[in-house]
Amino acid sequence: MSFEIVPLGQTLGAEIKGLDLTQKLDTETLAAVRAAWLEHLVLLFRGQSLNDEKLVAFSKQFGELDSVPTWDQFHSPGHAQVLVISNVIEAGKAIGVLGDGEAAWHTDMSYIERPPTASILHAHEIPDTGGDTSWINMYAVLDAVPPELRAEIEGLELNHDATHDSSATLRPGLDAVADVSRMPGARHPIIRRHPESGRPALYFGRRLNAYVVGMEIEQSEALLDRLWTYCSEDKFIFCHQWQLGDVVMWDNRCTMHRRGSFDPAQRRIMHRTEIIGEKPSAA
């Protein structure tokens, strides 16, 4: 199978042209797609038409799938490994998560011990405007952190809050906690070594309720605020305007992403799979 790689953003993102994802990738093509993904961090495949079986089959070529148990009422019916991201309400009930507001910068499921390696998102219905998704290159962000600040964060761990999602909604079955130093969640190194590329990247989850382990809360907040200022450089960001049928696959170990808000009167339905990852290790 042959395909073309067209870079999209300045420091991340590429479109893969010429592949039909309903077909199993042969060994050579799979290795080449994987290499392109490690290089470009976010891959876009346009014009795909994957039902849930096909989305799962495509995703499984990259590893074992997670079933996101904290959101099990939002799985696509009959597909425990497919999470619905949507603002659509049917019979008075939301069919998916994240609504129509902004989903703030985050890394998927960083609040668990083994956060996903990759996320794969397929556009089923999209609004006329808005709801764009952006990714940021966290290798590049770390490279932009001045040496003195980098020295300050070497060896530190961040606690990743499990209680709220990226739309600042309390997850079902969890209680809000006021003290950030006591948030349930997982602790991971702030500077993470990517297990495949070997490169160090800044590893953040959500800014909300993040906490630098062992610090006074004020000191932790100030340090995180300083670090987050490096996450706003346009050149590190790739913004994607969705088209129907798009499939985007990204690397959660070295990127963060955010989703813009959109008109609540419009429908947006996306189906997502997650590849189970490893416990992050320090760089």
Residues of this chain that bind ligand SIN (CB under 6 A): 85, 98, 103, 108, 119, 121, 133, 166, 257, 259, 270, 272
| Minimal distance, residue 31 CB to ligand SIN, in Å | 26
Of the pair 14, 145, the CB lying nearest ligand SIN is at 14
| Minimal distance, residue 151 CB to ligand SIN, in Å | 32
Of the pair 192, 257, the CB lying nearest ligand SIN is at 257
| Minimal distance, residue 250 CB to ligand SIN, in Å | 9
Shortest-Cβ-distance residue relative to ligand SIN = 133
Q: Of 96, 82, 73, 15, whose CA–CA distance to 50 is shortest?
A: 82
Of the pair 11, 86, the CB lying nearest ligand SIN is at 86
Sign of CA pseudo-dihedral 274, 278, 279, 281:
negative
Of the pair 70, 181, the CB lying nearest ligand SIN is at 70
| Minimal distance, residue 166 CB to ligand SIN, in Å | 6
Q: Of 213, 260, 245, whose CA–CA distance to 105 is shortest?
A: 260
Q: How far is Cα 242 from Cα 32, in angstroms, rounded to an integer?
A: 24
Q: How far is Cα 258 from Cα 265, in angstroms, rounded to an integer?
A: 21
Give Cβ neighbours of residue 238 (< 8 Å, ≥ 6 apart).
Answer: 8, 9, 10, 11, 12, 13, 42, 134, 135, 136, 137
| Minimal distance, residue 146 CB to ligand SIN, in Å | 30
Q: How far is Cα 177 from Cα 185, in angstroms, rounded to an integer?
A: 11
Q: Of 102, 70, 101, 93, whose CA–CA distance to 83 is shortest?
A: 70
Of the pair 98, 186, the CB lying nearest ligand SIN is at 98
